[in-house]
Structure 1
Amino acid sequence: MPGEPTAGAPEPRQRLHPLSPALHGAKSLVVVIAGLSWSTLNRVGFGWFAAMVVVLALGATVLAVVSWYNTGYHVVGRELRVYEGLLWRRTRAIPLERLQAVEVVRPLLAQLTGLAELRLEVVGGGKTEAPLAYLGVAEAGALRQRLLVLAGRSAGTPDPAGPQAMPGSAEPTPPGRPLHAVRNVDLLVSQLLTPQAFLLPFGVAFVVAQFLSEDSWSFIAVASTLTAMAGVLLQPARRVLDDWQFQLARDAGTLRVRNGLLETRAQTVPLDRVQTVGATWPLLWRAKGWLRLRLEVAGYSALESDERNRPDRLLPVGDLATATAIVGEVLPGVRLTELPLTPPPVRARWLNPLSRAVLGAGLADTVFAARSGLLTRQLTIVPYARIQSVRVVQGPVQRWLRLATVHADTAGGAGAAARDRDLAEAWELAADLTARSHAARRG
């Protein structure tokens, strides 16, 4: 295996792929061009503008080469050590026993050059640790598997970086037992059934009408309006790109996720780190009976600036039968359609005049479930063993109505909340949750 030490000799320090500076330089070129505004082009002319871009891009490439030359990594015992820096040298030692997951990410430039980026997630990390950009695909896959084995997150079964494609599909499938593959057509339709896409024709009609009827409506104003509309559509478009060819598989005690079009991602989610499972029914999806599933996973920081780095996707879009089967894989014995949810008392309608009938909470054999939402229905499921604390909260109006909200907090963050329960029931529910969580952790 690449980088494996020989007997009696220390493991040599490994460098990143020689093409890494070129990829970093290309990314810097995009930043440089974006940073030089069109006003600069108008002032200095195209020739000087191109010269400035070339000089700045060459400077960024030189810095990338120097950074590559001084960057290295190797495994020492049960630590991954990463070395970087020229004037200020920095060595990061990452204890592998704190490692939660290692992801193989392939942005568009990396796909074109046959490279990959390795990203590590550790317990308590404020963000993704030690991104090794870039490695060869085979080297990234071998190093990923080796780190997972040393961290005790894998049984040592082969996990090639380039697995074989399923028959009739050009896309590689994640290792393990396949659970589900989302149809790209369903993914596209689901994002068309969003408020942003639904209101787009009205926005375009407004801009066209203003442009044709108002002499003072300048081209710059139209362009600004269209830019704002494009910004509104950015989230659905990014979801399509991120979840393209979404595939889910089960491998021993982990979930394997592979997704992405411009940036492919291979993620491993340890099932023993899953804190909650959430199901969401957007308003416009209900006509087709669709929902999406998401996870909360311990060890992934909620402060991560890029939400795509968090392995929270379980099912981008699917029907109830598919969702029920997937939830059963993550939480054995739990069925979405058989959770014992009961509504709050009738007087809770003063706080929730429209959504009182939707609210619900209940205790199943192994999980606590809570439902909320009017236009967008949400269901949160928390295993008893993942509950860290239980809180009973009362607002001023709740005190007057003798109601309270019971919160079951998890290490992943949000947890679940049974809203506006009868006060006596709330205290009884809190005591029951505490007892069940203690019993589940002892078991």
Structure 2
Amino acid sequence: MSVDASVAGEPRRRLHPLTPLLKGARALVVIIAALSWQTLGRVGLGWFAAMVVAALIGQVILSVISWYFTGYQVVARELRIHEGLVFRRTRAIPLERLQSVEVVRPLLAQLTGLAELRLEVVGGGKTEAPLAFLTVDEARALREQLLVLAGKASATAPAEAADGEAAPPAAHPEKPIHAVTNRDLLISQLLTPQTLFMPFGVAFVVVQFATEATWSFIGIASTLTAMAGVLLQPVRRILADWNFRLGRQDSSLRVRGGLLETRSQTVPLDRLQGVAATWPLLWRRRRWLRLRAHVAGIAMPNSGDDSGGGRLLPVGDAESARVVLAEALPGVALDEIAFTGPSPRARWLHPFEFRVLGAALTDQVVAHRQGLLTRQVLVVPYARIQSVRVVRGPLQRRLGLATVYADTAGGPSAAARDRDVSEAWELAATLAERSRAARSVAAAER
């Protein structure tokens, strides 16, 4: 009995032969950090270098063994990753769960002409099955193949080019939406608490070094390392958003950028759960803000880290935000949303933030506003609301207040905080009705 080729799948393929060397080089920084400055002070420079070399050789050997036993293949509508020496493991990723495939090129990969693929799947808490490393052509071809099998792209559409490379003309060319200037990006990261307070930290170190005779090399190195850690977040944002460009192609937004590591990410609009706008305190004089999309099935960065996926506008003025938001949520403008505040009795719960809190229901979205120092607005389309909750804490019950939450699938919840109980139940009923109507319209359009 013959076996259908689509079921049998393609032959297993290995990653690029340079993969062990690139992974070993990438591990060098981790090895040095793990040995720490204290180790250098105890054993001396010669033994420290020998330990680093020995650890690096061991890492490369392990990477070679891992590379030899690692392979991938497409079987029917699954991507299978085979790995493991003693314990063999096969991960099968159903392509119908696939949301996007990023082509990422770290600095070492750019120097060697390689790239890696990072997959985002529905319900994934993190990036699935990164394939590092492949040639650029292999990465582009595999990305297109996976998206076609997942129904996310046309079988006749050309593969997406890596950043900085020309691609064949597409049937539906990408429409540029917005580009962030590197000058604005640098200024925005200078206007952060970490950067502004850094001169005081440097002055403290200089004064201590000048007045204390017991400072050693280890003490200075440790202090400089701690200061570098403080600056890590703004530096990461600059590196991630360098040459940031946003475009529109069919029903998706295309995000590109990066200095040492170039990224090309797709934001599917049909899975957009909401858009968050943030006005940091030090940006308000320039009236700057940033926009971030919350997308179902795409892992979001940790709280406080804005250098990861989902970013729509790293920094921009109100007009730039209006242009970007018009593509993500047509018909929605932040400056046209009329917020209403909570009950006057909420002053007892939020004496400082009371004047900032607000919620609004427009024809298309529910929105809330919060934040005393860092102002935030979250906008959620009615069609993305999964459930509506009315919550009353102990203090709220004594004050006759309640908070209404509009929950999304894996995304943030819009909240009308500290409303009168009667108003809260009316808001909940209105939200439930509008979300049902919006989902019905969306289903009819599909």
Same fold by TM-score greater than 0.5 = yes
CA contact (8 A) 1:126 1:304 kept: no
Q: Which residue of 1 aligns with 2:181?
A: 183
After superposition, where does 1:137-176 map in structure 2 within 5 Å?
Answer: 137-156=136-155, 157-162=157-162, 176=174
Shift of 1:36: 3.2
The amino acid of 1:115's aligned partner reads L
The answer for unaligned runs of 5 or more in structure 2 is 167-171, 442-446
Determine the C-alpha separation between the residues in 1 that align with 2:326 and 2:389.
Answer: 28
Q: Tell whether 2:22 aligns with 1:23.
A: yes
Shift of 1:111: 1.1
Determine the C-alpha separation between the residues in 2 that align with 1:435 and 1:183.
Answer: 43
Q: Which residue of 1 aligns with 2:368?
A: 370
Shift of 1:18: 1.4
| Residue 48 to residue 201, structure 1, CA distance change in 2 (3 Å) | closer
| Residue 44 to residue 354, structure 1, CA distance change in 2 (3 Å) | closer
CA contact (8 A) 1:153 1:270 kept: no
CA contact (8 A) 2:180 2:316 kept: yes
The SS at the match of 2:289 is strand
* Percentage of pairs with the same residue: 66
Q: Which residue of 1 aligns with 2:444?
A: none
Determine the C-alpha separation between the residues in 2 that align with 1:162 and 1:224.
Answer: 39
Shift of 1:60: 2.2
CA contact (8 A) 1:391 1:406 kept: yes
Provide Cα deviations, 1:306-338, integer angstroms capped at 9, x if missing partner.
Answer: 967952211000000110111111111111111
Determine the C-alpha separation between the residues in 2 that align with 1:386 and 1:411.
Answer: 7
| Residue 76 to residue 209, structure 1, CA distance change in 2 (3 Å) | same
Determine the C-alpha separation between the residues in 1 that align with 2:50 and 2:346.
Answer: 68
Determine the C-alpha separation between the residues in 1 that align with 2:202 and 2:61.
Answer: 45
Determine the C-alpha separation between the residues in 2 that align with 1:8 and 1:421.
Answer: 57
Determine the C-alpha separation between the residues in 1 that align with 2:321 and 2:425.
Answer: 32
Shift of 1:59: 2.8
After superposition, where does 1:294-373 map in structure 2 within 5 Å?
Answer: 294-301=292-299, 311-373=309-371
| Residue 140 to residue 238, structure 1, CA distance change in 2 (3 Å) | same
Q: Which residue of 2 aligns with 1:118?
A: 117
Shift of 1:133: 0.5
Provide Cα deviations, 1:126-177, integer angstroms capped at 9, x if missing partner.
Answer: 32111111000111011111111111112342233336679xxxxxxx9611
Shift of 1:345: 2.9
After superposition, where does 1:40-55 map in structure 2 within 5 Å?
Answer: 40-41=39-40, 46-55=45-54
Q: Which residue of 2 aligns with 1:397?
A: 395
Provide Cα deviations, 1:404-442, integer angstroms capped at 9, x if missing partner.
Answer: 111111112322111112221111001100111111112
The amino acid of 2:340's aligned partner reads T
After superposition, where does 1:246-265 map in structure 2 within 5 Å?
Answer: 246-265=244-263
Q: Which residue of 1 aligns with 2:102?
A: 103
Q: Which residue of 1 aligns with 2:421?
A: 423
Shift of 1:380: 0.4
Determine the C-alpha separation between the residues in 2 that align with 1:179 and 1:185.
Answer: 19
Shift of 1:39: 5.0
Provide Cα deviations, 1:47-90, integer angstroms capped at 9, x if missing partner.
Answer: 55444433332332222222212211111111111111122111
The amino acid of 1:148's aligned partner reads L
Determine the C-alpha separation between the residues in 1 that align with 2:14 and 2:433.
Answer: 52
Determine the C-alpha separation between the residues in 1 that align with 2:298 and 2:7.
Answer: 37
| Residue 345 to residue 28, structure 1, CA distance change in 2 (3 Å) | closer
- Give the TM-score, by structure 2 length: 0.89
CA contact (8 A) 1:175 1:249 kept: no
Shift of 1:348: 2.3
Shift of 1:398: 2.1
CA contact (8 A) 2:368 2:416 kept: yes
The SS at the match of 1:36 is helix
The SS at the match of 2:184 is helix
Determine the C-alpha separation between the residues in 2 that align with 1:7 and 1:353.
Answer: 64
Shift of 1:220: 5.2
| Residue 104 to residue 418, structure 1, CA distance change in 2 (3 Å) | same
Determine the C-alpha separation between the residues in 2 that align with 1:127 and 1:284.
Answer: 32
Over aligned residue pairs, what C-alpha RMSD do you find?
2.7
- Give the TM-score, by structure 1 length: 0.90
Identify the match of residue 205 of structure 1 among 182, 203, 206: 203
CA contact (8 A) 2:385 2:406 kept: yes
Determine the C-alpha separation between the residues in 2 that align with 1:25 and 1:311.
Answer: 26
After superposition, where does 1:49-64 map in structure 2 within 5 Å?
Answer: 49-64=48-63
Shift of 1:375: 1.1
Aligned residues: 432
Shift of 1:199: 1.5
| Residue 160 to residue 72, structure 1, CA distance change in 2 (3 Å) | same
226-235 vs 48-57, greater mean Cα deviation: 48-57
